[in-house]
Amino acid sequence: MYLLGGFILLVLALWGFERLYLRGQGVETYPPPTDPEAVQRFIRPGGPGPEFQQLVKTVRELTLRISIGRSHQNLQAARSAFDTISDGHEFKSEFFPTDAGGIPAEWVIAPGADRNRRVLYIHGGGFVVGSPKSHRTITSKFAEITGCAVLAIDYRLMPEHHYSDCIADCRTAYHWILHNGPDGPGELRQLFIGGDSAGGNLGLSLIAWIRDNGLRPPEAVVALSPLTDITFSGASLKDNLDTDIMLKPFMKILTRLPQFVKSWYVYSTYRVRPCSPVVSPLLGDLSALPPTLVQVSEAEMLLDDARRYVYKACAAGSPVKLQTWPDMVHIWQIFDPQIPQAVEAWVEIDKFLKGRASA
């Protein structure tokens, strides 16, 4: 009887700890913004087009290579596979390794770049894979359309390091880029932040920290399919499982776990509370943020992460904008110019950033 009572008390304690401390109060439902410009959909007549079918084949092959590496506990093989995403592209920009306050990084410089205007770019890859090399298609495009010097940081990855190390590296790099350009210490006239997926998570976490610490804010932020909720409560995680060919191989097991188990998994893996705004920007204060553009596919698992973040930020009065495309793969912008939807997305990013540059 005593053993049974002790067991029941232990179960109740674990349940209470998960429900109140790890999961928190959850996410309030916010309506779509009343401003019609805050949410835009881009639909191509006739569907995604023939170029998309070739892209699907390419993505399936890539995810298979990454999955094989990870399943054999060979992270280096998975990381090497991921780093080939930008292989075969011809770049107008040049790439120069640098040290951003102790963080390995590279400058991405397009012809005619103004080195006193800068972009801090934070790559995606689930906090486990990815590097400045894997994302050169994106960083080079940022350099071309903005005329800025782009700093792509090589932050520490999990599982060798903790999520807090990823955050610390982004904060260090931000402090550094405020005072340093490709030629060393120099004036900063304009600053943007960009990030995709896990990098979008780190970027959105970063701008809240910048605001809370009274640092110079960026003029604008671009988040591509950002992960905003590491309690993993978004409905699209399950609803879009079968249509997200890039994330499904890595996240399908997670979607089958009960919320109680997911919370403990995140706590043990990330070493932070899932409901902490540091790791789940959606759950934090989203007021007084810089102008932010969020792009996401309506077919991907992180749709609700993006949509709920924008709705909540708009309700808090922040100038945040959502753009969606149907059918696209996760981070389709990296496949510019192979598919027209990637070209369209970059046209919108260009317009958004030019609007902030002249504001």
Pair 208, 284: CB distance under 8 Å: yes
Q: Whole-angstrom Cα distance, residue 353 to residue 292?
A: 10
Neighbours of 337 (CB within 10 A): 12
Neighbours of 347 (CB within 10 A): 12
One of 106, 298, 300, 348 is an active-site residue; which one? 300
Give 83's contacts (C-beta < 8 A, 6+ positions apart).
Answer: 130, 131, 133, 134
One of 131, 298, 330, 348 is an active-site residue; which one? 330
Report DSSP letters for 154-174, one per residue: ----TTTS-HHHHHHHHHHHH
Is 197 part of the annotated catalytic residue set? yes
Is 144 part of the annotated catalytic residue set? no
Of 176, 161, 172, the closest CA to residue 270 belongs to: 161
What is the pairing mode between strands 180-181 and 184-185? antiparallel
Q: 337: cis peptide before it, omega within 30°?
A: yes
193-229 as b/e: b if 16+ CB within 10 A: bbbbbbbbbbbbbbbbbbbeeeeebbbbbbbbbbbbb
Is 161 part of the annotated catalytic residue set? no
One of 131, 140, 197, 263 is an active-site residue; which one? 197
Q: Whole-angstrom Cα distance, residue 60 to residue 81?
A: 12
Q: Whole-angstrom Cα distance, residue 156 to residue 104?
A: 9
Positions marked active-site:
197, 300, 330
